Amino acid sequence: MIREAAAAREARDFVRAIRLLESARADHPDDPEILRLLGTNYAFAKRYDEAIATLSHARDVAPGDLDIRLALTRAYFWAGRSGEAESELRGIEAHDPGNAEAAALSRQIDATATGAVSSSESRRGGIALWSSISDVSLASGDDRTWWTAGASIYGTVAPRTTLTAQVEREARGRGLIDTYLLARVDHGFSPSLRAYLAVAGTPNADFREHWSLRGGIEGDVGGPVTLLLDARHADYGHTNVTALEPGARLAIGPIRGSATIRMINLWDETNHYRSGWSGRLDSELGNGMLLFGGAATYPDTQAGVTRRLHAAFAGVQFPIGDRWSLRLTGDYEKRRQSYERKGATVGLQMRF
């Protein structure tokens, strides 16, 4: 039935497509794929109220499905409800700041608002700024204050491709200061398959890696499940470590959010295998507001030495204008035989 509906849509017979999909929904009322297709066909047929209601229900069933959220954004936009389309875009960008399809939709919304004509040469992107302060108790008994400040800029350079550049300066006192540089490319091979590659370095490093290479891939495997796989190699000058991190993300309808868990497998500076895990929970409250938190225990390498780290964090992100959002985070770390740290971070993001 879904194939028949797809064929009818290709033939622009939206009435038949809708009839087929309404029948499918009667049998499977909470199937997010059927709801997405039905809502999209309602929108093509200019039945915008039904499109928005159907796609809103699909979003509540599968809040982590960005294809549904993009379809809902289009329905709002086509219905002339640009404010709600912008709000939905902020929710998408909170989960995936470099999403190229969201950037394209944002261009269309902006062009309509200004009366401008969309240009294939125009690009979308954003900047992020953050600063943190940490109270640190060293295993030696000393207390210190650590400061971190950073900035990043990202932009779409081709369909489904985003480039990011980042710089972060961390000062740990007693002359220990590292400036970390990173370049990253993200690409969506399809709506359900995405990957990234990043290279980073720290000139004259005191505690961070001299250089590192990291890559990852994630794929939606059906329903609310996305599988994740990240790999990383870091060189500390006199030694190096390698990590492999498989994981999964599960969309959770009742909280309009997701749960992510990863297994961390690391081969340390002595080529000894160590393992750990991390978990994260995200929940969207509406109007672009996002709550998040998590915990982890894993082998952590600094200055070429690996020790067990226990960590927890929680925070909130919310819009403070049409293009700006503010993020506040509190976190705690305890690194075995090294330090205990309590920190707070404030971040500001703007898309353009």
Tokens representing residue 150 in the block = 């950073």
> Which of 59-68, 118-127, 238-247, 313-322 has the lowest average pLDDT?
118-127
**pLDDT value at 6 more than 70:** yes
**pLDDT value at 51 more than 60:** yes
**Reported confidence tier of residue 13, pLDDT bands at 50, 70, 90:** confident
Q: Say whether 224 sits in a helix, a strand or coil.
A: coil
Last residue of a domain, one of 52, 80, 114: 114
- Residue 104's pLDDT is what? 76
User: Average pLDDT for residues 298-326, to the nearest whole number?
Assistant: 92
- Which is higher by pLDDT, 296 or 33? 296
**Cα–Cα dist 285/74, whole Å:** 21
Last residue of a domain, one of 114, 149, 166: 114
Same domain, 132 and 58: no
**Cα–Cα dist 220/283, whole Å:** 19
Same domain, 171 and 85: no
Per-residue buried b or exposed e for 100-139, using 16+ beta carbons within 10 Å of the residue's own CB: bbbbbbbbebbeeeeeeeeeeeeebbbebebebebebeee
**Cα–Cα dist 286/83, whole Å:** 13
Q: Is residue 29 part of a domain?
A: yes
User: For the segment 104-128, what is each residue's pLDDT rounded down to a tens digit?
Assistant: 777 777 666 555 433 333 346 889 9
Sort 220 into a burial class: Cβ within 10 Å, 0-12 / 13-18 / 19+: buried
Amino acid at 129: L
> Which of 4-8, 52-56, 219-223, 327-331 has the lowest average pLDDT?
219-223
Same domain, 109 and 208: no
**pLDDT value at 219 more than 80:** yes
Last residue of a domain, one of 88, 114, 140: 114
Amino acid at 210: H
Q: Give the range of the structural domain holding residue 245, as residue numbers without chain letter.
A: 125-351
CATH number for the domain including 212?
2.40.160.40
**Residue matched to tokens 């590292």:** 178
Same domain, 52 and 147: no
Same domain, 24 and 51: yes
User: Average pLDDT for residues 24-33, to the nearest whole number?
Assistant: 88
Same domain, 258 and 183: yes
CATH number for the domain including 88?
1.25.40.10
Q: What is the pTM of this model?
A: 0.71
**Cα–Cα dist 21/197, whole Å:** 39
The residues that bridge with 307 in the sheet, in sequence order, are 300
Instruction: Calculate the CA dihedral of residues 15, 106, 200, 174 and round it to 10 degrees.
Output: -130
**pLDDT value at 16 more than 50:** yes
**Cα–Cα dist 81/22, whole Å:** 25
DSSP states of 318-348:
EESSSSEEEEEEEEEEEETTTEEEEEEEEEE
> Which of 14-18, 146-150, 201-205, 313-317 has the lowest average pLDDT?
14-18
Q: Measuring CA to CA, how many Å separate 332 from each of 148, 250, 301, 314?
A: 15, 25, 17, 9
Residue from 273, 290, 272 nearest 281 by CA: 290
- Which is higher by pLDDT, 47 or 146? 146
**Cα–Cα dist 328/345, whole Å:** 6
User: For the segment 83-93, what is each residue's pLDDT rounded down to a tens digit?
Assistant: 788 888 888 87
- Residue 191's pLDDT is what? 65
> Which of 21-35, 119-133, 298-312 has the lowest average pLDDT?
119-133
**Cα–Cα dist 111/119, whole Å:** 9
Same domain, 237 and 345: yes
Residue from 190, 128, 202, 192 nearest 159 by CA: 190
- Which is higher by pLDDT, 286 or 189? 189
Which one of 74-83, 304-313, 321-330 scores highest in mean pLDDT? 304-313
Strands 324-335, 339-351: pairing is: antiparallel
User: Average pLDDT for residues 196-224, to the nearest whole number?
Assistant: 92
**Cα–Cα dist 191/194, whole Å:** 8
